[in-house]
Structure 1
């Protein structure tokens, strides 16, 4: 029986993973930086963990894995993924299999600027992306400023063309002051990306094993940074694009591609090299990437995916529960 540890179980991604794994013959464990977490009732054993950036995080995580005989580890958020990746040999030496991308893909895809450079160099449509806003040619376009090395909507700020012009003036006047222009991204390197004004936003899931490349695409509507409503899209252009990227990256495992469509062009603005927020939406349609990744690590062949539905609309709902009840 697999003994699987999932991290960050207060978040939506981890809970999607846990809901999937609860249906399997597996023993589940979970940890989170919070003492009370939404997924703590879905696991056999839960504990409060250190932050991934804290000293001793890796030693504590490995110690818990050995204590409970963990066979498979699923780090969920970006900081944890980076730290576990840097120490993956420690876990592998103890026979612990990690659901994680290889170092090269993480290095590129956890960095929005490197991602944009790679895609641009290989002929994909990407919004103009800058680290230094002084290189932006003010032409009436708005730009999104966001953390260079984290995902989601936290810290994102949209600047108009006039505001970009003002930022350039302030930068030239005082380079030190520029570092604090965006109060939402304190202390983090940023990228400035041309805003693609379109309500057609898509998320594409891609899983690759040695023999197959499986893809699934959704048009999505966001609420508070999450995919609140997803609509299945079977258009071949999304599968074709995803397959090209999978081959470019020499992908093994899962990634998620974020893009906007405008004037029949697909502008890729982000690639998430991890299990993503639509994980359970995908699973419910037979795109079982969490299980495929575990199988791949256990040398079990991954089947070719064929979606049986022509139309599917998914919605994320709220629910209430008690995670602790004592009499």
Structure 2
């Protein structure tokens, strides 16, 4: 059994870094040593790794040297990022990681750049003939006058993932109040028509190789039914409008129709790595919210169902094994667990 040392950064906060560790812990046919880093020692992820390092924020000038010292000291073969700043760091330093013989799960620079800007993503896909919910970039309060679709969702255009600064506007009055607040706090705003229902919301992962060939995909129908999975809920007469939180749970399933559409989107943007598509199904059509060019916050759910992306990446990139895209249908719920940690 080949021994492989893996580094996972940003393992705190219950984000996708922790999800990656949970997935790695499910692997039983590799001799893995898992090294974890975070900017705080107050993290439950520390209990899941074989060795933990406290590191500074990526913006700190010492960060790069510290990470590469950890890589050298522990003979790291594969690095997974657990936060967006670290995704950008690895992406900007690809050649250095290659020279250190360290593999990574990143998509192409082009795909990352596009997907981290929702407005540019919408515009690009629209030119490719993809049907999307109506959208509008808002740079000033007067831009609201051009909107002819309500209810709508206001959200940051830049960045990837999370529900911070996401709001529901039922009408123009709501929109004016919310946009004024968001502009005051320098949020780069895009408005998108709220369509479909939260009962038909999906997260779909699409995996592609370095040549842009789709290796496989997996769908999760989200259960947005409790405080853990719900970020915002607005009632208007007999209608309920819901925004999901970043904590996903639900039914891992096969939806050939939606997965085919998601794979087509991956091909359109020339994805060359992991891609996570947030969407709703409306009359059999995939209606896109956003694309995250990285592993998902549902990585461990997928792994439990048999589609273990971190495992597949390691075996594919280091051992040269074929990508196994088979998985089981499974309903997986989440909870909050108390964990005692050493400081």
Q: What range describes the TM-score normalised by the shorter chain of this pair?
A: 0.7 to 0.9
- Paired with 2:276 and 2:123, the residues of 1 have a C-alpha distance of 18
232 and 99 in structure 1: CA distance in 2 versus 1, 3 angstrom threshold:
closer
Counterpart in the other structure of 1:148: 157
- Paired with 1:212 and 1:84, the residues of 2 have a C-alpha distance of 23
Q: Which string of whole-angstrom CA distances, capped at 9 and with x for unpartnered residues, describes residues 266-306 of structure 1?
A: 21011111110111111111112111112232151323423
Q: Which runs of 5+ in 2 are unaligned?
A: 232-244
TM-score, with length taken from structure 1: 0.86
* 1:205 corresponds to 2:215: no
254 and 228 in structure 1: CA distance in 2 versus 1, 3 angstrom threshold:
closer
* 1:107 corresponds to 2:113: yes
Counterpart in the other structure of 2:76: 70
* 1:316 corresponds to 2:319: no
The equivalent position to 1:294 in structure 2, one of 314, 327, 333, is 314
- Paired with 1:191 and 1:139, the residues of 2 have a C-alpha distance of 14
187 and 261 in structure 1: CA distance in 2 versus 1, 3 angstrom threshold:
same
167 and 234 in structure 1: CA distance in 2 versus 1, 3 angstrom threshold:
same
Q: Which runs of 5+ in 1 are unaligned?
A: 169-177
Counterpart in the other structure of 2:279: 259
Q: Please tell me whether the aligned partners of residues 221 and 227 of structure 1 are also in contact (alpha carbons under 8 angstroms).
A: no
The equivalent position to 2:65 in structure 1, one of 54, 59, 63, is 59
Q: Please tell me whether the aligned partners of residues 219 and 231 of structure 1 are also in contact (alpha carbons under 8 angstroms).
A: yes
Counterpart in the other structure of 1:173: none
51 and 130 in structure 1: CA distance in 2 versus 1, 3 angstrom threshold:
farther
Aligned length: 312
Counterpart in the other structure of 1:96: 102
SS of the residue aligned with 2:87? helix
* 1:160 corresponds to 2:170: yes
* 1:279 corresponds to 2:299: yes
CA RMSD in angstroms comes to 2.5
- Paired with 1:38 and 1:111, the residues of 2 have a C-alpha distance of 31
SS of the residue aligned with 1:39? helix
SS of the residue aligned with 1:15? helix
Counterpart in the other structure of 2:41: 35
Offset of residue 228 of structure 1: 4.3
